[in-house]
Amino acid sequence: MSSAGADVPYAGTDFYCDVAIPHPDCLDVVHEDEHVLAFHHTRPFWAIHIVVVPKRHIASLTTVSDEDEADVRELFGVVQAVARDVELEHGAAAVLTNLGAYQDSKHLHVHVHSGGRRG
């Protein structure tokens, strides 16, 4: 994710810690609790595109350690609920996370999407 919104460029490396988590009021939030934030992507790639992030910084899926277990359990519980809702409403859902060079924002995040790619 490379933008704080359609009109505000973001050039940092952790959009979630820098923008999304401290300012959920600027987002179209789907779910928020003490540990997890889920919101409609600010620059969606698919027709339906929701991002789910742990509020505590975890760099990526491949850096998860024993101390992250509770946060990752909470994260995937929300991913499951969001994916279920998207599947029920739209007939299909996909879940993915990016790693390494594919991961623009260096904070574990999971995409839940459905529908075709946006122009």
φ and ψ at residue 65, rounded to 5 degrees: -125, 180
- Catalytic residue, chosen from 41, 49, 107, 109, is 109
- Decide: residue 97, CB within 10 A, 0-12 exposed, 13-18 middle, 19+ buried: middle
User: How far is residue 85's CA from residue 58's CA, in Å, rounded to a whole number?
Assistant: 25
Structure tokens at 111: 């995409």
57 has catalytic annotation: no
- Asked if residues 51 and 43 have their Cβ atoms less than 8 Å apart, the reply is no
- Active site members: 109
